[in-house]
Amino acid sequence: MHVHVLVLDGVFDAGLALVLDTLDTANALAAAPEQRVRVAVLGVRRRVRTHLGFAVPIVARPRARPDVVIVPALGAKTPDTLERALARRDVVEAAAQLQAAAAAGAQVTAACTATFVLGDAGLLAGRRATTTWWLAPLFRARFPAVALDDAQMVVESDNIVTAGSALAHLDLALWLVRRRSPALARTVANHLLYDARPSQAPYVMPDHLAHADPLVARFEDWARRHLDGFTIGAAARALGATERTLERRVQAVLGKSPLSFVQDLRVAHAVHRLQTTDASLEAIAAEVGYREATTLRTLLRRRTGRGVRELRRA
């Protein structure tokens, strides 16, 4: 299998290193030649530097067509810096190269902020995808034709694969190794002390996402103070908006209903209380508006993938 890692100027250092180190470890531990992959690090330009200023050893483009193209993230830490990076000529040219690679049959993949490059290339329209959770509002606004599932760490949709935030580069690389050999992927994960993280949900900060829109930010602030006894009608009246307007704005920014967002806030509050106090689950459930602890227990398991005891230990 031929893998091309397309590196853009200002690449996220850790993302590039995670991809290359994971694939190199897999090649070193492979039990059979057919499990190994041939990795070529390419650039749109001859000279590429990482976000922290290190030179990337770019090679000449191989004759063999790639089976897989991986695009590590750009080292942008804010929506504004990301949008400026996406407007650069080399990034626009990279999008065209990715279009050509996909048309030729390659599987095109990207993680974190690089998912926006795939979006600009038109490769995500009509498909499911994920992205870094803290840029989900910008992603939804920029790519309304994409079915964004930002809770997932890795999403495969036809020949396009996207991965979530920052360290999800490791998840993406292991996904590729797993295609060759599930057993090899488990061995590599053990060598790298990696624990499976199928979801980004436990790491999401709801208040961070809400600040992408003034009304949604006010809603988040009000809802956080009224988790016990929350109703959408009371929230709309307190904010001076209609229920329909509030529901539409929350859905547009966060990709979910107001009630679903309030459940996120309840989960965040409950996890914090479990990890920082000895309060009983029954008491915490009452704090966030649930009469039965079983309801909260089920919600925590569904949203975080962890049980109450595991959350307390964390």
Tokens matching residue 141: 């606004």
Range name among 1-15, 94-108, 129-143 with the lowest pLDDT average:
129-143
What's the confidence (pLDDT) of residue 31?
A: 87
What's the confidence (pLDDT) of residue 304?
A: 85
What's the confidence (pLDDT) of residue 105?
A: 96
Nearest to 48 by CA among 40, 39, 56, 60: 56
What's the confidence (pLDDT) of residue 81?
A: 96
Helices within the chain (DSSP H only):
13-29, 79-86, 89-103, 115-120, 136-142, 168-180, 182-191, 206-210, 214-224, 232-239, 243-254, 258-276, 281-287, 293-304, 308-313
Please compute the mean of the pLDDT values over residues 238-248 and round it to a whole number: 95
What's the confidence (pLDDT) of residue 12?
A: 97
What's the confidence (pLDDT) of residue 268?
A: 86
pLDDT at 97 over 90: yes
Average pLDDT, the chain: 92
What's the confidence (pLDDT) of residue 78?
A: 93
Q: Residue 305 — pLDDT band, cuts 50, 70, 90?
A: confident
The C-alpha atoms of residue 122 and residue 146 are separated, in whole angstroms, by: 10
Q: State pLDDT tens for residues 35-76.
A: 999 999 999 999 999 999 999 999 999 988 999 999 999 999
What's the confidence (pLDDT) of residue 254?
A: 85
Please compute the mean of the pLDDT values over residues 158-176 and round it to a whole number: 94
Q: Residue 212 — pLDDT band, cuts 50, 70, 90?
A: confident
